[in-house]
Amino acid sequence: MTTDRRVKIAVAAAGLSSFALLYAPQPVLPQLALQYHLDPGGAALAVSFATGALAIAVLPIAVLSEVVGRRPIILASVLSSVVLGLVLPLAPSYPALLVLRALQGVAIAGLPGVAAAYLVERLGRAGVATAVGAMIAGNSIGGMVGRLASGFVAEPIGWRGALYVVAGISLVFSLITVVTLPPAERAPAQLDLRAELKSVAAGLATAVRRPILLAMYFVAPLATGSFVGLFNAAGFRLTSAPLDLSPAIASLVFLAYATGSVCSAAAGWLVARAGRTWALVGALLLALVGALLTLPDWLPLVAAGFVLFTCGFFAAHAVANGWAAAEAPATARGQVSGLYTLAFYVGSSVGGAAAATIYGHAGWSWLIAAVSGWLLLGVTVVLLGVRAARGERPNVAFGALDRATATLGR
C-alpha cells in the first residue's frame, strides 16, 4: 500500500470515528430528557458540552502539536475519545455525563486542530487536496453513521446501549487509524515557547483584520448554530404528536446528511460560475427555504425541508470555509483556520443549546423563526463584509474592529 493511500485511509477512518462519537447523543436526546427529567434545552447540553469543549481546545492543541508532533496528537485524539465513549454510558448522573462529554470534546479536538497541518507535512501542498477530501468524507459519513446507529438501536436497547454501539463502531475505525497512519516527515521542532506564543498572537491579530474574514467568522456560527439546533430539536418534533414517529424511524432524518458531499461539490461549481458572494448567499437562503418547509405537520414536506436545509448548510459551510482559506494572509493561515473552526464549534455549542431551549419553551414555529433570523443575519453579514472589503462605505462595526486589531498588531 502506498503512503498516500495509507494517509487517506487513516484520516478518513479518524474522521469517521471522531464525528460518530461527537454527535452520537443527538438522536437520543428525547430519551435523555425522559431519563433525567429535562426539557429539550437541558438535554441538548449533551451535544453542546462536547462541541463547546472542542471549540475551546482546538487552538491550544494545535500549538501543542508543534512541540510533540502531529501524529501523536491524532492518535491520542482518536483513542482517548473512544475510551471516553465507552465510559460515557456508565455515567451515574447527568452532570457526570456532561463532564465526560466535555472531556470527549477536548479529546476529539486533536483531529480538526492538527489534521490539515499533518497532511501538508506528509503529502505536500500538491497532494493534500484529495486527502482533505477523504477526511471530510469521513467526517460527514461518521456524523451520519453515529446518529443513525444510535437512533436505530435506542428503542430496543436504550440510550446507554446505543452509545455503546457507536463507541464500538468508532473503536474499529480508530484502530484502523493507529495501524495505517504514517509519521509526519518533519520532526517536531524544539521551540522557544515565548517566541511561539508571540508569533501565534501576531497571527491572530492579522487574522481578524480583514472584513471578509470577519464575515466568515460570523457566518460560521450562525449557520452551524441553525443546523445543529434544528437537528437537536428534530427528535423531539418527530417523535411527538402529531407526527408520532418511533425513535428508529425518526432517526432516518439524519439520512439528509448524505446530501452533504453532493451539495459541497455543487457549491464549488456554483462559486466558479456565480462567485463566492452569491454562492454563499444562495446556500444560506436555500437552508432558510428548507427550514420553512418543515413548518407544516405533513411528513413528506418535513422530510423534503430537512434535505434542502441540510444541503444549504453544507454548501454554505464549504463556501465560507474555502473563502476564509483563500483570503488568509500567508503569515496567518493557521490562525485563520483555527478561528474559523473555533467559530464553527462555538455556533454548534451555543446555537444548538439555544435552539433546543426555544423549541422546548415556545415550539417548532418559534424555533424556525429564530433559525430564519440567524440565516438572514448571515446573509446580511456576508453582504456587509463584501462591501467593506471593497471599500464601499465600510460598515461601522467592521471598521472599528479593524482599527482595534491594527492597534493590537502594533
Could you tell me the CATH number of the domain that includes residue 39? 1.20.1250.20
Is the Cβ–Cβ distance between 374 and 224 less than 8 Å?
A: no
Final residue before a domain boundary, out of 163, 191, 219: 191
Give dist(CA 251, CA 178) in Å, integer.
31
C-alpha cell at 123: 503529502
Number of domains present in the structure of the chain: 2
Tell me: do 287 and 218 sit in the same domain: yes
Tell me: do 242 and 109 sit in the same domain: no
Tell me: do 227 and 126 sit in the same domain: no
Q: Which of 174, 213, 162, 169 is nearest to 329 (CA)?
A: 213
Tell me: do 114 and 215 sit in the same domain: no
Provide the residue type at 185 as one letter: E
C-beta atoms surrounding 128 within 10 Å: 18
Question: Which pTM was predicted?
Answer: 0.87
Residue given cell 422546548 in the structure block:
360
E strands, 243-377, in order: none
Give dist(CA 15, CA 181) in Å, integer.
13
Provide the residue type at 317 as one letter: H
Residue given cell 423531539 in the structure block:
236
Tell me: do 147 and 181 sit in the same domain: yes
Tell me: do 174 and 323 sit in the same domain: no
Is the Cβ–Cβ distance between 217 and 343 less than 8 Å?
A: yes
Q: pLDDT tens per residue, the chain (410 residues)? A: 788 889 889 998 999 999 999 999 999 999 999 999 999 999 999 999 999 999 999 888 887 887 788 899 999 999 999 999 999 999 999 999 999 999 999 999 999 878 877 877 787 766 665 666 567 777 888 889 999 999 999 999 999 999 999 999 999 999 999 999 998 655 555 656 677 667 777 777 878 889 999 999 999 999 999 999 999 999 999 999 999 999 999 999 999 988 877 887 788 888 889 999 999 999 999 999 999 999 999 999 999 999 999 999 989 998 898 888 888 887 777 788 788 889 999 999 999 999 999 999 999 999 999 999 999 999 999 999 999 998 744 444 445 444 544 443 44
Tell me: do 219 and 365 sit in the same domain: yes
* Residue partners of 291: CB distance under 8 A and separation at least 6: 226, 230, 305, 309, 368, 371, 372, 375
Tell me: do 168 and 226 sit in the same domain: no
Radius of gyration of the chain (CA): 21
Final residue before a domain boundary, out of 127, 160, 191: 191
Give dist(CA 236, CA 31) in Å, integer.
9
Tell me: do 61 and 6 sit in the same domain: yes
Tell me: do 132 and 25 sit in the same domain: yes
Range of the domain at 143: 1-191
* Residue partners of 337: CB distance under 8 A and separation at least 6: 116, 324, 325, 328
Final residue before a domain boundary, out of 191, 221, 250: 191
Tell me: do 180 and 218 sit in the same domain: no
Tell me: do 293 and 406 sit in the same domain: yes
Write phi, then psi, for 395 (nearest 5 degrees): -60, 140
